[in-house]
Amino acid sequence: MKNHFSTSTKSIAIIALSAILFASCQKSMIKPEDNASAKRLPDDKPATTLIASTINFSGYTWTVRSTSSGTQGPGPNYWNSNNAWLDANGHLHLKMQKDAQGRWSCAEVTSNNNFGYGTYQWKIECDLNIIDRNIVLGLFNYSGQDGYDEQDIELSRWGNPSAGQFNYTVYPAQSGVRYNNVHWESPNIAMNGTYSTHRFTRYRTDSIVYESQHGHYDAGSTIARKKFTSSDIKLSALNMPILMNLWLMNGAAPVNGQSYEVIIHEFKFTPLP
């Protein structure tokens, strides 16, 4: 009887220990993205956000956006980390294309650094003469608070094939009225070649100046320019990350049914002295 009791006790202990080890193993198998929460814009559907990879571009580290299911704003759209990569020259490629499920998917990267007053400049390569009316290329900084603290360069025709390609927008500081932005749109401009440079400068004197030009130059004649001041809108004073994205307006497929790719040769930030 004594020996039987001892054997049973050992069996129970072994079973209990096995259960603990199994539970521990199951917990360790949970991927970080299983518990990740995703920021969603008002027009979003629920989605699961993956822990995205990072890339090093123009001297900075960027996080590449990806969602495993569902859509997220802007758009809303599907986001795929396969749509952003570096080539052998160190240039950043952003591509809007169909994914393995046949859905149109978009690209976005976000800087791991925050930036403040100074000049933000991008040298890009793409044919802006034939950009599909539903495609948007965004170059901007953003605090993460929807409707606030954002300065945008958006290259898009916003659904109108005859509209101008260059759009400059400023959203107010958080003390302002949410979503009450100021916006300027260029006329339709015939581009010379596929190289163009775009920049904006945030000044301490409460103004922001946008410029675009043909070619890859740090200075030169502009094809589009707009200045906003504190009399136009309450400008943000925050240091914020930079985002670059290529997406579809309202999540609508490109009218021409073709994928679209943008090559960003360089991003450069020059702080004010």
Distance separating alpha carbons of residues 50 and 38, to the nearest angstrom = 9
Distance separating alpha carbons of residues 119 and 153, to the nearest angstrom = 13
**Full-model pTM:** 0.82
Give yes or no: residues 24 and 152 share one domain: no
262 within some domain: yes
pLDDT digits (tens, 9 = 90+) for 45-54: 445 555 569 9
Cα 251 versus chain centre, distance: 15
- pLDDT score at 22: 37
- The mean per-residue pLDDT over the stretch 135-158 comes to 97
Give yes or no: residues 117 and 191 share one domain: yes
Q: What is the domain range of residue 66?
A: 41-271
Give yes or no: residues 23 and 81 share one domain: no
Do you find a cis peptide bond into 74, omega within 30 degrees of 0? yes
125 within some domain: yes
36 within some domain: no
How sure is the predictor about 131, in pLDDT bands with cuts at 50, 70 and 90? Answer: very high
Give yes or no: residues 1 and 111 share one domain: no
- pLDDT score at 251: 97
CA terminus-to-terminus distance, the chain: 88
* pLDDT higher than 60, residue 36: no
Report the helix count and the strand count for the chain, using DSSP H and E: 1, 18
pLDDT, greater one: 265 or 9: 265
Give yes or no: residues 25 and 54 share one domain: no
255 within some domain: yes
- The mean per-residue pLDDT over the stretch 128-136 comes to 95
Give yes or no: residues 19 and 128 share one domain: no
What is the number of domains present in the chain? Answer: 2
Residue 96 φ/ψ region, left for φ over 0, alpha for ψ in the -120 to 50 degree band, beta for the rest: beta
- What tokens were used for 17? 């220990």
